Amino acid sequence: MAQARARDLSAALALALLAGSAPAGGSAGRVDAAVRFSILGPLFEGAGADRKGAASPALDRAVEAALRGDWGGAIAATGEARDLLLGRPPSAARRLAWGLRVGVLAPAEALEGAPGLRVQLRFLPPPDPPLPHFVEVRLRLEPFDAPPVPLKRFTSRGSDLSGPGDFVDVETDRGVERASLVATVHLGTEEGDAPAFPVAWTPEASARIRLLRERSDPAVIDASRKDLAATLASEIASLATASTGELPVEDFDPLASLERAESLAASLGKESDPLPGERGEIRRAVSSPVGATQPPIRFRLWVPTAGPPPAGFPLLLLAPSAFETEASPFRSWAGGSLRDLAEARGVLVASISPGGHEGDPVEAVLSSIRRTHPVDPGRIHLLGRGSGAGLVQRFASAHVREIASVAILDGGFADERWLRPLVPLPLVAGGSGRGPTAPASRAIAQAASALGVSSWKSKVLDGAGWFESSTPILREAIERAATVRRVEPR
Strand duo 313-319 + 375-385: pairing: parallel
Four-CA torsion 476, 477, 481, 482, nearest 10 degrees: -30
Angle in degrees, CA 338, 343, 349, rounded to 5:
55
Contact criterion met (CB below 8 Å) for 98 and 72: no
* C-alpha to C-alpha distance for 476 and 150, rounded to whole angstroms: 47
* Greater model confidence, 453 or 224: 453
User: pLDDT by residue (tens digit) across 295-331?
Assistant: 889 999 999 999 899 999 999 999 999 888 898 899 8
Q: What's residue 27's pLDDT?
A: 37
Give the list of residues 6+ apart from residue 452 with CB closer than 8 angstroms, or none.
Answer: none
Q: What's residue 21's pLDDT?
A: 37
User: pLDDT by residue (tens digit) across 343-396?
Assistant: 999 999 999 998 766 778 999 999 999 999 999 999 999 999 999 999 999 999
Query: Across the strands, what pairs with 380?
Result: 315
Query: Across the strands, what pairs with 487?
Result: none
pLDDT tier at 40 (50, 70, 90 boundaries)? low
Does the domain at 100-194 match CATH 2.60.40? Answer given as yes
Architecture of domain 1-31+278-490: 3-Layer(aba) Sandwich (3.40)
pLDDT tier at 6 (50, 70, 90 boundaries)? very low
Amino acid identity, residue 387? S
Contact criterion met (CB below 8 Å) for 171 and 115: yes
Q: Of 78-82, 168-172, 392-396, which has the strongest mean pLDDT?
A: 392-396
Q: What's residue 401's pLDDT?
A: 93
* Greater model confidence, 244 or 66: 66
* C-alpha to C-alpha distance for 349 and 251, rounded to whole angstroms: 17
pLDDT tier at 176 (50, 70, 90 boundaries)? low
Task: Indicate if the pLDDT at residue 404 is higher than 70.
Answer: yes
Amino acid identity, residue 344? A
Write the DSSP string, 102-145: EEEEEEEEEETTEEEEEEEEEESS--SSPPPSEEEEEEEEEETT
- Closest alpha carbon to 369 in 280, 319, 301: 301
- Closest alpha carbon to 467 in 79, 183, 122, 53: 53
- Closest alpha carbon to 317 in 365, 364, 266: 365
Q: What's residue 33's pLDDT?
A: 63
* Window from 137-151, 243-257, 467-481 with minimum mean pLDDT: 243-257
* Window from 171-185, 426-440, 472-486 with minimum mean pLDDT: 171-185
Task: Indicate if the pLDDT at residue 201 is higher than 70.
Answer: no
Tell me the C-alpha to C-alpha distance, in Å, between residue 142 and each of 109, 146, 176, 277, 433.
21, 7, 9, 34, 41
Q: What's residue 376's pLDDT?
A: 97
Q: Dihedral sign for Cα 277, 279, 282, 287, please.
A: positive
Q: CB atoms < 10 A from the CB of 12, how many?
A: 15
pLDDT tier at 28 (50, 70, 90 boundaries)? very low
29: left (phi over 0), alpha (psi -120 to 50) or beta: left
* Window from 45-59, 167-181, 276-290 with minimum mean pLDDT: 45-59
Per-chain mean pLDDT for the chain: 81
Name the DSSP class of 431: E
* C-alpha to C-alpha distance for 199 and 105, rounded to whole angstroms: 10
